[in-house]
Structure 1
Amino acid sequence: MSTELNKGVSSNTLSTGKKEGYFAWFHELTSKERRTFWSCKIGYALDAMDTQFLSFVIPTLIATWGLTKGDAGLIGTVTLLTSAVGGWLAGILSDRIGRVKTLQITILWFAFFTVLCGFAQNFEQLLVARALMGFGMGGEWTAGAILIGEVIRAKDRGKAVGMVQAGWALGWGMSALLYALMFSILPDEWAWRSLFLLGVLPAIFVIFVRRFVEEPEVFVASQAKAIKAQERASFAAIFSPKMISITVRAVLLTTGAQGGYYAITTWLPTYLKTERHLTVLGTGGYLAMVIVGSYVGYIVSAFLTDYLGRKKNFILFAVGSLCIALAYTRMPVTDGVMLFLGFPLGFFVSGVFSGMGAFLTELFPTEIRGSGQGFSYNMGRAIGSLFPLFIGLSSKSMALGEAIGIFAAVAYGVMIIAALTLPETRGKQLES
């Protein structure tokens, strides 16, 4: 019986000429679409790699330069703020000169200033180099998310964009491996510089992007239409009476996602170490669990955003993120339990972003998609980056765990409300 069934499946596959399974959609992509997919995924992974280097070298800089934790925090905050500005500017630029050219510029930008970080001689120089690097870091996400969102067909857009977003976890993992390698073969004072110097790798990747990746047809058609009509949409059109409601709600959605992410990932390690006195937080095993959980979360969310719809998927992962935050701050946990909780932590707080790129692509019309997507995501990043500050200030009058729980609840609550009020866009065809 099973043999006959297998034969039936095989003959059906042969007769239709299509592969079946979860990744059948990838096999149906054209060579142009595959090149675009890999260019965006690899580009985002390299962006993450360069960005995450700082988190690994902070202890060394504290020891060698005498940096305070406040200094290190300032570098991180300034990078987030400049990345928000860079993401918006890259969105505007992508509507003017194209998605592919903007992607190339942003990758070269963050690669150059990452390398410059390796030559810094003091805190001030590192702060400036890192701040400038942030412009390219934020810009790369915007250009890449728009590019892949416009190239992939509507029914598979969520999966494709989500799997590109998963490149962040891969880049995070690469930075951890390179950190371990460099610090095992070089003295600390040279190892941290070598990490930043490896930031040149994305610049080499631009050669591939320049040669093999083309502008999306929907964008080319839109540009031709604008030229023929002798009118070009202004970036301010996202604030027009027709679009302002969508823009504001999209900002609230991304603010909730990123505010919750920063609230949890910034303060949770401190809380668990200082108030729960757990030691597993600083181990490679715990970090590996979080990174693997993040990658799996991105992938699962990528498929669910096409299966359930954008809104339901956002709500599912927002609720999951809130539950994991409450579990960390309310449940009595041991080092052993904490090690395994690293997986669901990475799964939910990262997976919530997987459908973001596709959703924002579908919310805005082609002629202002770059401006709308760039502003919405990166304004959310700028506001969200303030949540760790609010938690730090609130912890003076309440327990740190309580402050984390309150602000995580506020952030994901805002995200859920925004998701409920925004239109469902699953399967939407992009107009030219």
Structure 2
Amino acid sequence: MTLTLLVRSIGAVIFGILSDRFGRKWPLVANLLLCSIVQLSTSFVQTFRQFLAVRSLFGIAMGGVWGLASSTALENLPIEARGLASGVLQQGYALGYLISAVLNLYVVPSTRYTWRALFWTTSVISAFAATVRALIPESEIFLRAQAQQHARGASTGKKTKVFINQVGAMLKVHWALCLYAILLMAGFNFLSHGSQDLYPTYLKDSKDFDNYHAIVATIIGNLGAITGGTLAGSISQYIGRRLTIILFVILSGAFIPLWILPSGFHTLAAGAFCVQFGVQGAWGVIPIQLAEMSPPGFRATFPGVAYQLGNMISSASAQIEAIGGDHLKTTIIKNGVPTIVPDYATVQGILLGTIAAFVIFITVIGPENHGSNFERQKGAFED
């Protein structure tokens, strides 16, 4: 997992730089097509080493998608619409998670190809997204900046030289901001992965649910995520980015007891909905928060790299919970017999509560450029 996320960070750097230098459109199209090809290739692997090699290659493409998509979606919108757009954009993650859960629930068990059919389906979805992006024009802001540079007589070589110099200048001036963004995204990724990755295992091992009910509860949680993210993005336009994040993280923490204490399906599913409503609600503000704090001209590279490096730091979240479950046990009645099982409920509750406190702290001490007119800033290739 850590290796895959490290490769994703490399992909974020490569495709982010290409996007900030050469435009949003074709680097993102190439990203999505590579995702499609590698997803298809994954379905044919026969060994773990093959799987690891293919998924590492997939990480290069996937690492660049978020930053490119975020900058493309937000920079051409009016300031008044960016909060809502941020929430809708980020919930593409939750929607994809939901679609995968539905496919895993209904498609995978019904075909002799089992898990391979899941990768075939996602390969088609990625190819479709690449086709749609190829048909949509290049970012108007990027085209305008290129036209201005062309009018000044700047050659391609000169613009590339300027871009390289700007990268060095940006790191020299904004290194503290870069470190802050990585810590912020580490906290956010711990918050999301810590509440999602081991959740089906927690329901099956600690609550004695079957696979069907564990997947259904996951789907319900993602419905809460989509609702919370869209709502929080809109609210942030009126009360600010940081305050919205803090309120929704507090909300997710308040529902931790409902998320871990009950034993019945309906109450636990309600807890999943409420916790993900808060977690992904806070996440819904992140695309616009990072875009507004980004150094001028680096709205694809800065958010994408910060996101993926933070994701890499949080890659051990599931392992932390699994190790905690190995050391902390509880007893449940399973098939009429008292059975000792990992106490994932307590472990996840402690982890989520700790990370929620960290996210609130790191958000409070950080910057906010609410309403920034970043579309007026020069591109990184402009002298």
TM-score of the aligned structures, taking structure 1 as reference length: 0.73
Specify the code of the residue in structure 2 equivalent to 1:373.
P
Map 1:70-149 → 2, pairs under 5 A: 76-149=1-74
Map 1:1-16 → 2, pairs under 5 A: none
Give me the whole-angstrom Cα distance separating, in 2, the residues matched to 1:218 and 1:165: 22
Relative to structure 1, the CA distance from residue 206 to residue 308 in structure 2 (aligned partners, 3 Å threshold; closer, same or farther) is: same
Name the residue aligned to 1:387: 317
Name the residue aligned to 1:342: 272
Give me the whole-angstrom Cα distance separating, in 2, the residues matched to 1:183 and 1:177: 9
Name the residue aligned to 1:194: 117
Relative to structure 1, the CA distance from residue 255 to residue 281 in structure 2 (aligned partners, 3 Å threshold; closer, same or farther) is: farther
For residue 421 of structure 1, the aligned residue among 365, 369, 379 is 365
Does structure 2 retain, via aligned residues, the 8 Å contact 1:391–1:404? yes
Name the residue aligned to 1:371: 301
Give me the whole-angstrom Cα distance separating, in 2, the residues matched to 1:374 and 1:264: 22
Name the residue aligned to 1:14: none
Name the residue aligned to 1:256: 187
| Aligned partner of residue 369 in structure 1, secondary structure | coil
| Aligned partner of residue 243 in structure 1, secondary structure | helix
Map 1:38-53 → 2, pairs under 5 A: none
Does structure 1 retain, via aligned residues, the 8 Å contact 2:178–2:302? yes
Supply the RMSD in Å over aligned alpha carbons: 2.7
Give me the whole-angstrom Cα distance separating, in 2, the residues matched to 1:191 and 1:280: 15
Give me the whole-angstrom Cα distance separating, in 2, the residues matched to 1:372 and 1:222: 20
1:235 aligns with 2:158: no
Specify the code of the residue in structure 1 equivalent to 2:48.
F
1:212 aligns with 2:136: yes
Name the residue aligned to 2:334: none
TM-score of the aligned structures, taking structure 2 as reference length: 0.82
Range 333-342 or range 264-273, more displaced: 264-273
Identity among equivalent pairs (%): 25
Name the residue aligned to 1:37: none
The unaligned stretches of length 5 or more in structure 2 are 330-343, 379-383
Range 143-152 or range 216-225, more displaced: 216-225
Map 1:157-176 → 2, pairs under 5 A: 157-176=82-101
Give me the whole-angstrom Cα distance separating, in 1, the residues matched to 2:279 and 2:28: 26
Give me the whole-angstrom Cα distance separating, in 2, the residues matched to 1:321 and 1:194: 34
Give me the whole-angstrom Cα distance separating, in 1, the residues matched to 2:206 and 2:216: 21
Range 389-398 or range 421-430, more displaced: 389-398
Name the residue aligned to 1:356: 286
Name the residue aligned to 2:228: 297
Specify the code of the residue in structure 1 equivalent to 2:279.
V
Describe the superposition over 1:196-245 as per-residue Cα deviations: whole angstroms up to 9, x where unpaired: 223134224423322322124157427855984862244344432x3122
- The one of the two structures with greater contact order (alpha-carbon pairs below 8 A, sep at least 6) is 2
Range 141-150 or range 217-226, more displaced: 217-226
| Aligned partner of residue 107 in structure 1, secondary structure | helix
Does structure 2 retain, via aligned residues, the 8 Å contact 1:238–1:371? no
Does structure 2 retain, via aligned residues, the 8 Å contact 1:81–1:385? no
Specify the code of the residue in structure 1 equivalent to 2:171.
F
Relative to structure 1, the CA distance from residue 366 to residue 150 in structure 2 (aligned partners, 3 Å threshold; closer, same or farther) is: farther
1:405 aligns with 2:349: yes
Name the residue aligned to 1:318: 249
Relative to structure 1, the CA distance from residue 341 to residue 294 in structure 2 (aligned partners, 3 Å threshold; closer, same or farther) is: same
Range 228-237 or range 99-108, more displaced: 228-237
Give me the whole-angstrom Cα distance separating, in 2, the residues matched to 1:344 and 1:186: 33
Does structure 2 retain, via aligned residues, the 8 Å contact 1:84–1:138? yes
Give me the whole-angstrom Cα distance separating, in 2, the residues matched to 1:411 and 1:89: 30
Q: Give the length in aligned residue pairs.
A: 353
Does structure 2 retain, via aligned residues, the 8 Å contact 1:154–1:426? no
Does structure 1 retain, via aligned residues, the 8 Å contact 2:41–2:54? yes
Give me the whole-angstrom Cα distance separating, in 2, the residues matched to 1:147 and 1:90: 13
Give me the whole-angstrom Cα distance separating, in 2, the residues matched to 1:237 and 1:296: 40
Specify the code of the residue in structure 1 equivalent to 2:60.
F
Specify the code of the residue in structure 2 equivalent to 1:202.
S
Give me the whole-angstrom Cα distance separating, in 2, the residues matched to 1:222 and 1:313: 36
Give me the whole-angstrom Cα distance separating, in 2, the residues matched to 1:208 and 1:387: 35
- Deviation (angstroms), 1:145: 0.5
Does structure 1 retain, via aligned residues, the 8 Å contact 2:259–2:272? no
Name the residue aligned to 2:205: 274
Does structure 1 retain, via aligned residues, the 8 Å contact 2:258–2:271? no
Describe the superposition over 1:347-376 as per-residue Cα deviations: whole angstroms up to 9, x where unpaired: 122222111111111111332232221221
- Deviation (angstroms), 1:401: 3.8
Range 178-187 or range 352-361, more displaced: 178-187
- Deviation (angstroms), 1:278: 4.4
Relative to structure 1, the CA distance from residue 423 to residue 174 in structure 2 (aligned partners, 3 Å threshold; closer, same or farther) is: same
Give me the whole-angstrom Cα distance separating, in 2, the residues matched to 1:403 and 1:177: 27
